[in-house]
Chain A
């Protein structure tokens, strides 16, 4: 039974590690399905993490933190939208700018306000999202073998943002696939001219997608600072926005496979932490760095078409110029 408990602990930590990826991946999916390439996911999560930590510390409320995180992230989204949609600038350049802006600004402001080397003060009590215990968790653990343990350990006992993140996948999948707004949004990423001809605003749809992208990045960043950790650390996103980008590519820009990719990458991360300094029977010690590099290597291999084929939205990255 020992190993079942170990697996449950690893899965639990895999879920915790995959939440920021999941939020950013859904964010990237929204943006890219509407034809706006976004490599600024990282920066938006970072600024959201900072803003949420600042607001949660100031007000003592984790939910206020979430609001502030989303607000900051949406503001950066609008900057990206202004450059990419309104001024038809290079979307990749704009994304790089947003990443640098967030990386610099969070440290400068954090240092100026708190003088702790860019960190924000530690959040305590209601300023952090507490772990929610789902109904019957304890009872299930006691009475149902194996499954009960998994229910209590893996599914129950996370902060509210975790469940919000999973809900966002459901919502993304439903809205994109089953609603008129979703259909139009997907169309604008494939053939904006057709959408325009139908009398629907390409600009409006794309701004809508970019704002949703900001909201989701805000959720991911807030989770990092106010739920997973107890405050903001400089550069705490540590490339998660880019792994999320990899997950989106891996999932071929579809929500459910993106969930799978994020959970897989989270699991790899959890295993890498677990395997630190452990020798596996028969294989010996696996270098942790090899597992950490795996998502990136897999994405490169996938993009090169050695496994499967990636088909991005047709109009992604192309600014729309209205014919006159």
Chain B
């Protein structure tokens, strides 16, 4: 082990290293499948067929992808500022509350006003809940990682309180709000495309997917083509140099965390406004944590995040189908894969860079 960072060509750094670590993670998953007495090849075939083998499967896959794009981008933006936002779950939860309140309270408004306002409200909720840890780090010195972990739990208890005691549907035993009005929800894709003559099966895929794609482009432009993005990357690379150049690391910390939180709010837009049409407990379902794997695998670049989100979309949908055929393999397998990817692409990055570097050297010598 040398202390010097391992130099790799750009294509290898951005493409090969993540690919190798993902391949290794899938290999580990294959070993687990083998360990519980199933065939990994058969499982892979079932998984791929379930995720991509039908229009319905693809619809579900893209619906999951939407969630992962939002949470992956949220983590990625914070990464660029040198911050680790583990609070995606909490930020999405608060965003869900804000979105639900907007949908319920502003119901008299027409849809073309109500829906954008509710989306903005979700983004504002997430941004606020991301901003506070950023502000605490910038002004009080408490570390964003610990604060966001604590904020996840605070949000989880807050939403239980709100749904049980305050905004829950009266008379219902379930901790959930009343259903939103028909004009307060995002249009499902199969309805949107029906007038164009495209007949698609009914899936949860909705216009939030388009919003996610737009976010990918917008975040690319923000991070790599804007003044603010330059400031964010500078603070992430070297806060002291940034301060010397007249950039305030404190301000960038707060702004980056707010943007990150707003992006995590996209998860609430897709789930609450697009699919469930009401606020309920645990709609974040761990998507926020998988977002860390997505961001690490995508190397923080929107293109990488998009591809990694698609991979996890395939794994989620395929995993659900797989567990129908093979009850022994539950979808928690995807959580295992996510964990291993975070370990390999994140924490053991040095090991895999060394792998790739020695592999390339061998190739050159031959």
Contact = CB atoms under 8 A, between A and B. Distances in A.
Interface stretch (A5-13, A165-173, A217-225, A300-308): A300-308
Q: What does DSSP make chain B's interface, helix, strand, loop or mixed?
A: helix
Contacts of A178: none
A321 interface: yes
Given A100-B339, A303-B143, A107 B332 contact: yes
Contacts of A289: 157-158, 160-161, 164
B332 A93 contact: no
Interface in A102-145: 102-105, 107-109, 111-113, 115, 118
Contacts of B296: 93
B332 A87 contact: no
Interface string B324-366: 0001111011111111101100111111000000000000000
B142 interface: yes
Nearest to A80: B347
Nearest to B142: A303
Nearest to B164: A289
B21 to A, nearest CB: 12
Nearest to B338: A100
Interface string B129-145: 00000001000111101
B150 A101 contact: no
Contacts of B32: 105, 108-109
Interface string B219-244: 00000000000000000000000000
B153 interface: yes
B348 A101 contact: no
B285 interface: no
Contacts of A39: 145, 149
Interface stretch (A150-158, A253-261, A291-299): A291-299
Contact of A107 (B161, B330, B338): B330
Nearest to B328: A112
Nearest to B344: A97
A246 interface: yes
Nearest to A300: B150
Interface residues on B, range: 35 or more
Contacts of A18: none
B292 interface: yes
B60 interface: no
Contact of A87 (B164, B329, B347): B347
A107 B86 CA distance: 22
A105 B342 CA distance: 15
A303 B147 contact: yes
Nearest to B161: A289
B145 A98 contact: no
Contacts of B113: none
A304 B142 contact: yes
A92 B84 contact: yes
Given A87-B347, A88-B350, A300-B142, A112 B37 contact: yes
Nearest to B145: A92
B146 interface: yes
A300 B336 CA distance: 30
Nearest 9 A/B pairs, CB to CB = A104-B335, A100-B339, A101-B339, A94-B347, A303-B142, A104-B336, A89-B347, A112-B36, A97-B343
Interface of A: 39, 79, 82-84, 86-94, 96-105, 107-109, 111-113, 115, 118, 239, 242, 245-246, 249, 287, 289-290, 292-293, 296-297, 299-300, 303-306, 321-322, 324
15 contacts: A84-B347, A89-B346, A89-B350, A90-B346, A90-B347, A96-B289, A97-B346, A104-B335, A105-B336, A289-B157, A293-B154, A296-B150, A300-B147, A300-B151, A305-B140
